[in-house]
Amino acid sequence: MALIPIPNDEEATPYQKTIFEHSKKLFGRVANAVRVGSHTPKLMHTLFGFIVSSLREEITENLPVKTKCLVILKTSTLNGCAYWTGHNETLGRALKFSDELIKEITGDYINSALFKPDEKAAMRWAEVMTNKLYQGSPESPPQHYEALNELKKYYNHSQIVELSFVSGFFNFWNRFTDVLEIDIEQGSLMESFSKSTKIDPKQFEEYMRDGWWKEK
């Protein structure tokens, strides 16, 4: 059970209802992590705009959602976050990821024939970020220089920054969800992932216009 109550639609404040209603329009559901985050609705409303624009491809038009999903899964599995691993395994299956491919993300992905070289480079970057391999140690030099050089073979500066945003955000989102012991959704809510591989940019624009800041 979550350590902070998960607000439902009936008890939601007007600010929370705005977030929930737009989340349903964009993703077909409201994640429990978003519901818990809405206890501070102005922060969650701002953060949700970032979530939508960075985790699907229709807003930035910079990276395919498949690549982002692989990076999220690599980050979340390394952190041992069952909540976001579960979410994104479900999303991955909606993107036609096989069970074998999903399993290989936590295996010898570098030598796997299931991933393209650019996907391996993206997951390696997520691994370096998540395991703090950029810090180095007396036994092992920093590994981010080599990983970045490999990444640059396939991605431009804008894409590398976006990949870093995605992995960096999920390092935060994993910790937020785990420390508050937020329960993963069940049944039809999880099944709705199959309808959320794409978003409607017009609905996103409506969401951004409908923020608490419109009252200023």
Residue 160 maps to which CATH number? 1.20.1290.10
Domain that holds residue 22: 14-61+197-211
What confidence tens digit (pLDDT) does each residue in 81-92 have? 999 999 999 999
Residue 47 has pLDDT above 90, yes or no: yes
Same domain, 83 and 152: yes
- Residue 129 forms part of a structural domain: yes
Residue 216 has pLDDT above 60, yes or no: no
- Residue 70 forms part of a structural domain: yes
Count of structural domains, the chain: 2
Same domain, 53 and 70: no
- Ramachandran region, residue 37 (left: φ > 0; alpha: ψ -120 to 50; beta: rest): alpha
In this prediction, residues 136-143 reach a mean pLDDT of 86
| Helices (H), ranges, 56-98 | 65-78, 82-94
Same domain, 163 and 87: yes
- Residue 8 forms part of a structural domain: no
**Model pLDDT, residue 72:** 97
Same domain, 82 and 176: yes
Confidence of residue 195 (pLDDT cuts 50, 70, 90): low
What confidence tens digit (pLDDT) does each residue in 60-71 have? 999 999 999 999
- Residue 148 forms part of a structural domain: yes
- For residue 92, CA distances in Å to 5, 101, 167 come to 29, 10, 16
**Model pLDDT, residue 128:** 98
In percent, how much of the chain has pLDDT > 70?
96
**Model pLDDT, residue 193:** 64
- Residue 187 forms part of a structural domain: no
Same domain, 99 and 114: yes
